[in-house]
Amino acid sequence: MTFEDAFHEQWPTGSKVVPRLIKEMHASDDPYTRGKFVEILGKAGGTEVVSELAKELEHEDQGVRCWAVSSLRQIGSPEAALILKNHLADHPEDDA
């Protein structure tokens, strides 16, 4: 079973899970785990996580940055779109 196979149900969302996901993301030392938290935030969060995901665009690991791009794109709000446009203009390599 893959990571993605485990989530056939609706993703948990909202104020009950987002703060915990952000806390766990910040506590993650390795880029792979941090990237997974960034991915989950893109699925579970809404516009309330845009600022956290925008910060991840500055992460030293390109994989984390690519997940942040993907998550912001998935959220799709005007604020997320503007952040993406500005970031990708300077860092097109993060558009995986």
Instruction: Report pLDDT digits (tens) over 5-37.
Output: 555 556 566 677 889 899 999 999 999 999 999
What pLDDT digit, counting tens, does each position of 51-76 carry?
999 999 999 999 999 999 999 999 99
Q: What is the pTM for the complete model shown?
A: 0.84
Kindly list the distances between the CA atom of residue 76 and the CA atoms of 24, 42, 43, 81, 94, in Å, as whole numbers in the listed order: 24, 10, 11, 6, 17
- Comparing CA positions, the residue from 23, 87, 86 lying closest to residue 57 is 87
Pairwise CA distance, residues 1 & 67, whole Å: 21
More confident site: 32 or 96? 32
Take residue 53 and report the two structure tokens written for it.
Answer: 């995901």
Pairwise CA distance, residues 91 & 61, whole Å: 13
Query: What element of type H or E holds 27?
Result: helix 18-27
Q: Residue 6: its pLDDT value, please?
A: 56
